[in-house]
Amino acid sequence: MKRSPALFFFALIAGWMGGRMLAVHAAPALDCNQQCPAGRTPCGGVCRDLQNDDQHCGTCGNACSSGLICSSGSCILSCSVGYTNCSGTCVNPNSDESNCGGCSTACPAGTLCSSGQCVVSCQPGRTNCGGTCVNPSSDESNCGACGVSCPAGSLCSSSQCVVSCQPGYTNCSGTCVNPSSDESNCGACGVSCQAGSLCSSGRCVVSCQPGLTNCGGTCVSLSSDKSNCSSCGRTCVTGAVCSSEHCVVSCQSGLVNCSGVCTDLTIDRNSCGQCGRVCASGQRCDAGSCAACGP
């Protein structure tokens, strides 16, 4: 069919106008800028927080590497709970001596970091009391624990305040006693001597009356005891007795010991009447007197 030139021209104009109208209708979608809330930036059609977004940190498309997080627009080290990032290293500010309580807070020599504070580092058996290392087992101002002071007259022993006794005395249940002579604590606390005995040199011994001496648990007179003459255990020989702490010959009745010899002073010319009295030549001893010899 033969087309009219007028219709062809009209169709051409109509097609051009239709395409123009379509083009004008699509343009607004290409030029529209997406509006994001304050603090957000459009990245690929999505509003992003460039300060904390691990995939768009600081700028769109800047993704943080593994082990890092986005903080304040920068990729930083990601630390576990209780740890802090100090110059790219995760540290525990409660115990790190170079970052104690905070980054770059270093503890001085002789101290350590405890609970985020630099404290004095004490040797085993010592305790830090107010910045000073003390021995709570023996320190009278910190006995058993810091600040526990022992009262006057006592000392700290095994972490307890006990009575302080002078040399030679022992603390027995809070009382200072002399174990060398105390009859209730003889030799050691609680050791009591029986009745009739006393404590001597830390031992319970028999208690003797004045003039008597304890020899092997028996009270004896050293002046007259043949088995303990002048001292315990000194025994006089057979036929001798102890007299005035001396072992002397024991004579029969009527005889007298003269220099270890039993003598009859009534007839003996060498001890006539008394030991050592010698009768002259030509005399005899008669009834204890030197007399001329008779016919």
Q: In the chain, what is the greatest distance between 2 CA atoms, to the nearest angstrom?
A: 228
- Return d(Cα 230, Cα 244) in angstroms, integer: 8
The Cβ of residue 99 has, within 10 Å, a number of other Cβ atoms equal to 22
DSSP single-letter state for residue 234: -
Q: What integer pLDDT is reported at residue 24 of this predicted model?
A: 30
- Summarize pLDDT for 12-30 with one digit per residue, the tens: 333 433 333 333 332 232 2
Task: Tell me, rounded to whole angstroms, the distance of Cα 41 from its chain centroid.
Answer: 67
- Return d(Cα 120, Cα 113) in angstroms, integer: 9
Q: What integer pLDDT is reported at residue 33 of this predicted model?
A: 56
Per-residue pLDDT averaged across 132-157, rounded? 92
- Return d(Cα 266, Cα 289) in angstroms, integer: 7
% the chain with pLDDT above 90: 49
Find, among 181, 182, 155, the residue nearest to 166 by Cα.
Answer: 155
Which of helix, strand or coil describes residue 220? strand
Own/partner pairs for 261-265, CB < 8 Å, 24+ apart? none
Per-residue pLDDT averaged across 168-175, rounded? 89
| pLDDT grade for 295, boundaries at 50, 70 and 90 | low
Which of helix, strand or coil describes residue 27? helix
Q: What integer pLDDT is reported at residue 197 of this predicted model?
A: 86
Torsions phi, psi of 20, nearest 5? -65, -40
The overall pTM is greater than 0.85: no
C-alpha distance from residue 284 to each of 16, 254, 268, 274 (Å): 198, 19, 8, 14
User: CB of 153 within 8 A of CB of 163?
Assistant: yes
User: CB of 48 within 8 A of CB of 41?
Assistant: yes
- Summarize pLDDT for 80-119 with one digit per residue, the tens: 889 998 988 899 999 999 999 999 999 998 888 989 999 8
Q: Where are the domains of the chain?
A: 40-78, 168-207, 208-248, 251-295
Per-residue pLDDT averaged across 224-233, rounded? 94
- Return d(Cα 120, Cα 55) in angstroms, integer: 46
Structure tokens at 7: 């219709």
- Which residue do the tokens 């395409």 mark? 19
